[in-house]
Amino acid sequence: MSASVRSHADKEECDRGDAALTLAFTILGQRWSALVLGSLRAGPAGFRELSRAIDGLSDSVLSDRLAKLTQARLVRRRVEEGPPVSVTYELTDHGEALMPALDQISAWAVEHLDLPPD
């Protein structure tokens, strides 16, 4: 049997695994990343504005997420020297392209998850 034949387990992973989804969730599966992206849907925002918009998110993690999302080219960091210095984060085209999927997840959650009462 030639070496190119995959084992049963490899075949299973091929059938059930989804490399693209796996890659997507190396980013989205990190706590708060999806919500940071979702928050930018409303337009560019500064650090403090994002911090206020997302309850429970710590500054150090926000900083980390913005760096990682920028590195993944989903977010662009724009600096205006001022004074005072002004930094805004905005979605790139790659980031914008994810918004319909996040909308779909939102709509799904309304329909299929138990939202807690206000």
Partner DNA sequence: GATGTTGCTTCGATTTTCGAAGTTGCTACG
Partner DNA sequence: CGTAGCAACTTCGAAAATCGAAGCAACATC
Degrees to nearest 5, angle at CA 70 with 39 and 58: 55
Q: What is the distance of C-alpha 60 from the center of its chain? A: 17
Whole-number minimum distance, CB 58 to DNA, in Å?
Answer: 4
Which of its own copies, DNA, none is residue 72 near (CB under 5 to 8 Å by kind)?
A: its own copies
Q: Does 94 bind its own copies (CB under 8 A)?
A: yes
How far lies 5's CA from each of 2, 8, 11, in Å?
6, 9, 10
Selected binder of its own copies within 9, 81, 82, 85 (CB under 8 A): 9
Taking the C-alpha atoms of residue 32 and residue 57, their distance in angstroms, rounded to an integer, is 7
Nearer to its own copies, 83 or 116 (CB): 116
**Token digits of residue 89:** 């984060």
Q: Which residues are at the interface with its own copies (CB under 8 A)?
A: 9, 12-13, 15-25, 27-35, 38-39, 42, 45, 49-50, 52-55, 72, 74, 94, 97-98, 100-102, 104-113, 115-116
